[in-house]
């Protein structure tokens, strides 16, 4: 596979500015506009399937079947799926604003819940859960099981463990 240098078209900045201008008008918010764009993608893939497959073969060394399955058909399927679900996705839903994002609260919360309580000397205890690591049972508890090990305890353990 031969790697080719990719250069941006000379009018790319103009194209981006044009697209941003269209977006700024609010025209892209309408459901009908979005549906037309998705149908356009589907038509483009249907109409130019051969050219897309040839470009993928030339640029990436893809076989026609691989290009169709991996790029053309899957992209068309995604556009079709988006078109079928677009109206439901665009329905307005009431969303609760998290307490941390309410404008009247300072960043990180108030008092002990604020970010400042996690820094400095008290950060580790604030973020740790204090609990016992070992539980003491009601069964006989042999002191030789716990460090520091005495010579006598080590001798007994070696005898038991073999």
pLDDT on residue 157: 83
The SS3 call for residue 73 is helix
Task: Give yes or no for a contact between 46 and 76, defined as CB atoms under 8 angstroms apart.
Answer: yes
Q: How far is CA 41 from CA 12, 34, 137, in A?
A: 20, 11, 69
What is the C-alpha to C-alpha distance for residues 74 and 67, in angstroms, rounded to an integer?
Answer: 10
Higher pLDDT, 22 or 129: 22
Tell me the per-residue pLDDT of 67-121, one tens digit each, with 9 for 90 and over. 999 999 999 999 999 999 999 999 988 888 776 666 655 555 555 555 555 555 6
Task: Round to whole Å and give the CA distance between 1 and 57.
Answer: 11
Average pLDDT of every residue of the chain: 81
Query: CA separation (Å) from 3 to 58, 59, 61, 73?
Result: 11, 8, 11, 26
Say what percent of the chain tops pLDDT 70.
72
What value does the mean pLDDT take over residues 120-143?
Answer: 67
Q: Token pair for residue 75?
A: 């992209």
Cα separation, 81 vs 158, whole angstroms: 68
- Position 97 scores a pLDDT of 76
């Amino acid at each position: 596979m031969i790697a080719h240098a990719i250069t941006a078209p000379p009018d790319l900045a103009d194209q981006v500015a044009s697209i941003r201008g269209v977006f700024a008008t609010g025209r892209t918010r309408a459901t009908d506009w979005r549906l037309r764009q998705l149908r356009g993608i589907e038509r483009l893939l249907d109409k130019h399937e051969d050219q897309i497959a040839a470009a993928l073969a030339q640029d990436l060394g893809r076989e026609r079947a691989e290009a169709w399955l991996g790029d053309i058909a899957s992209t068309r399927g995604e556009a079709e799926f988006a078109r079928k679900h677009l109206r439901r996705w665009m329905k307005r839903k009431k969303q609760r604003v998290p307490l941390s994002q309410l404008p009247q609260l300072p960043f990180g919360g108030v008092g002990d819940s604020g970010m400042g309580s996690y820094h400095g000397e008290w950060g580790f205890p604030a973020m740790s859960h204090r609990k016992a690591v070992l539980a003491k049972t009601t069964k006989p508890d042999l002191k030789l099981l716990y460090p520091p090990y005495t010579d006598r305890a080590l001798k007994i353990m070696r005898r038991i463990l073999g």
